[in-house]
Amino acid sequence: MADWSATQYLKFSDERTRPALDLLARVPLQNPGRCVDLGCGPGNSTELLGARFPDASITGLDNSPDMLAAARKRLPHVRFDQADLVSWAPQERYDLIFANAVLHWLPGHEMLFPRLASLLNAGGCLAVQMPDNLDEPSHVLMREVAQAGPWAEKLAAAAGSRAEIGSFDDYYRWLAGTCASVDLWRTVYLHALSGPTAIVEWVKGTGLRPFIDPLDETERRDFLARYEEAIAAAYPPQADGKVLLPFPRLFVVARKP
């Protein structure tokens, strides 16, 4: 895929930051020494970590140069490094590994989650939030439009860009062997947006990218027009003209003994 766009992502900064706040509220640490923010994006989640733990050593990691540039501008006193989380293998151990809306892009959760837990110090926490919305109309329609258009062959692999989210039982099983506690929950956020175009703008910054990045300019315009038409039918307007976008998210907070 092309590089991420911090500008596009931050069009819905408040809505995207709220789950990170909810995740951080469940982290049972008082004074962690070393924290890492995986998939830190433009630094909105990293900023929360700094406010909660002002004495901690915090590093933000992301694979996007544009996101990292925005994060460094936002938090010039924090260290931000470019990293591919698939191959990330740090020498140091952490008191908090924070991963807000990133691990759903990585495969092999049955191996990934125990590996991340192994990078924690004693008493440390792995805190994860992942969108769990592949069965929502916003994402079902991406796949349908991709399959039905002249771009079907070009987008054949797009639906597989995101990892399948496991069940509560899965994440508990993968972490309970090495963690003293595993806290799991699912929240459905309900976002009141200005209309179907706003939903399209939201997903253009994240989930829609594997479907539109491979297309040329004309194909992208036609794809987005078909997709927005389908979105308008799936999300009818409320009395005030706004549309309601349900957004399920899965949360995991695991603590080492």
Every domain of the chain and the residues it spans = 6-255
pLDDT of residue 44: 92
Alpha-carbon dihedral sign for residues 37, 70, 23, 86: negative
- Output the pTM of the full model: 0.93
Q: Say if CB 29 and CB 96 are below 8 A apart.
A: yes
Q: Domain 6-255: give its CATH architecture.
A: 3-Layer(aba) Sandwich (3.40)
Q: What is the mean pLDDT, run by run of 10 residues, along the chain of 257 residues?
A: 53 81 96 97 94 97 93 96 94 97 95 97 98 96 95 92 92 97 97 95 89 95 97 97 96 98
Of 106, 68, 67, the closest CA to residue 85 belongs to 106
Q: What distance, in Å, lies between the first and last C-alpha atoms of the chain?
A: 39
pLDDT of residue 16: 81
pLDDT of residue 163: 86
Strand pairing partners for 252? 128, 184
pLDDT of residue 2: 58
H-helix segments, the chain: 6-9, 13-25, 44-52, 65-74, 109-117, 137-148, 168-176, 196-204, 209-212, 217-234
Max intra-chain CA distance, the chain? 55
| CA 199 remoteness from chain centre | 16
